[in-house]
Amino acid sequence: MPRSFRLIVPLLVPLLVASPATAQMMKSPDAAPEKTAPQSKGQVQLSFAPVVKRAAPSVVNVYASHVDTRGQSRSAMDEFMRRFFGENGGGRGRGGAPGERAQKSLGSGVIVDESGLVITNNHVIENMNEVRVALADRREFEATIVLRDPRTDLAVVKIKNPAGGLIPMAFGDSESLEVGDFVMAIGNPFGVGQTVTQGIVSALARTQVGSSDYQFFIQTDAAINPGNSGGALVDLQGQLVGINTAIYSQSGGSHGIGFAIPASMVRAVVETAKGGATAVRRPWLGARVQSVTPDIAESMGLDHPTGVLVASLQPKSPAEEAGLKRGDLILTVDGKIVDDPEAFGYRFALKGLTGQTKFGILRGTGRTTVPVKLGPAPETRPRDTLKVRTRSPFLGATLVNTSPAVAEELQADFPAEGVAVSAVDEGSVAARAGLQKGDMIVAINGAPIATTKDLERVTRNSLSMWEVSINRGGEVLTSVFGG
């Protein structure tokens, strides 16, 4: 049976006190009492309502829209698309003028700072240019987009001129969650209004969901549906432990398998926004790692597959300077076990850009600890950004010179020859030609392309035929386009 994952839209939610032990946790936030099961029928019948009431003011609805007003003149391709497929892929929206295309999105968010910062999913506001936030008390505000982080599917928006009374949600410790813990989700599923669902943590460290680059999700059976994306998953202390982001579904509705981004990653994105940055920068290792198969594990004397294998290192990278070698098996990051490349990437991404981290590695038959310096990927040569505007297969593409920093952002291997595609305008000639973000243009009509200046020179004149060679994921593809 094929698997299907759908992005969704939930709202922020804290959880309820269900036992005397929980009540003690609420009184002493710094205390960490031992978790206990309900001791009587009366304890089992206690309500989650007190925590829900306390959390509701921190939960918001996020309404995003994008209006693209196009001129009355149309190309032949535009007219063909309009006549046979309708405006915006399915007909003009109600109230829309000819040539005007509107997109809308509904999601949820969590107030995380008194200044009006709200965390939500990037897919809720992706491609949108207008955002409104509706509070639980029905007040509505315009908001500005502060930061987008597609790699985690998180984004931060800021409420414009809040009148006060904003109540931020406190962060919980997602690292201390255990399978079986009670959690709750609050959101606006299907647009029916604020809804609370309750369940348990059904799994941790899920890495095969496919909705972001950093996969290390909390899995829950609390009902999450379209409309809940960007909302909160909370623990019994009423604290934020995750942002709901995706569901496993073949029908579009909840089947009891939902996924949330852990609060540890959410906090890192929020702190970046608080610091005034508009993009999240993460530490650079300069090494490619791969999964450990059962055969590899057996050959290394392990009783089961674990860790990640160092497959290659870049010259003058932190990995090389730390003394890592090809074939080393990285088992832990600062004592945290990593079982696959996704878990390793998540753990390493949380380490920040200063100081060092320690890898526990297996080399041959011996185990050791290797300190690795933390820092951002360097920009070893200027990007010299080029936005192609001449008639060619690259019209509508943005290209940059490659460097470790660019490769890190685009998740491409480095060093790599060619010029990197950093963006492709939707509906552009480049998009129709099949160019994708992360592609490396290595040759045009047989001429090597090493810099954006090379590409600009080649595309300066219109040609009747274009032969373009692209490195995509290590495979070189060559295509021919008419002028």
Cα 392 to Cα 204: distance, rounded to the nearest angstrom:
48
| DSSP run (H or E) holding 220 | strand 217-220
Structure tokens at 54: 């306390």
Pairing assessment for the beta strands 182-187 and 336-337 based on DSSP bridges: unpaired
Annotated active-site residue in 58, 105, 123, 212? 123
Q: Which of 149, 153, 235, 439 is catalytic?
A: 153
Closest CA to 59 of 202, 240, 245: 240
Indicate if 334 belongs to the active site: no
Percentages (nearest 5) of helix, strand, coil residues in the chain: 20, 35, 45
The candidate with the shortest Cα–Cα distance to 157, out of 67, 61, 226, 262, is: 61
Phi, psi for 122 (deg, rounded to 5): -65, -35
- Given a contact cutoff of 8 angstroms between Cβ atoms, the answer to whether 285 and 372 are in contact is yes
The CA-to-CA distance between both ends of the chain, in Å, stands at 44
Helices 263-274, 341-349: axis angle to 10 degrees equals 40
Eight-class DSSP state of 268: H
CA dist 399 and 380 (Å) reads 16
- What is the C-alpha to C-alpha distance for residues 244 and 396, in angstroms, rounded to an integer? 34
Catalytic residue (choose from 108, 229, 392, 422): 229
Number of C-beta neighbours around residue 85 at 10 A: 11
Cβ atoms 77, 26 nearer than 8 A: no
Which neighbouring-strand residues pair with 290? 309
Which residues have CB under 8 Å from 426's CB, separation 6+?
127
How far, in Å, are 372, 434, 455 from residue 429 at the CA level? Answer: 44, 9, 16
How many Å apart are CA 472 and CA 477, to the nearest integer? 7
Q: Quick check: is 123 catalytic?
A: yes
Whole-angstrom distance, CA of residue 368 vs CA of residue 376: 25
229 is catalytic: yes
Q: Where are the beta strands (DSSP E) in 364-414?
A: 366-373, 386-387, 397-401
DSSP, res 437: T
For residue 355, give both structure tokens.
Answer: 């100081």
Query: Cβ of 388: how many Cβ atoms within 10 Å?
Result: 23
Do residues 411 and 467 lie in contact, with contact meaning Cβ atoms separated by under 8 Å? no
Going from the C-alpha of 469 to that of each of 219, 266, 413, 434, the distances in angstroms are: 42, 39, 17, 12
| Closest listed residue to residue 419, CA positions, set 392, 381, 391 | 381
Catalytic residues: 123, 153, 229
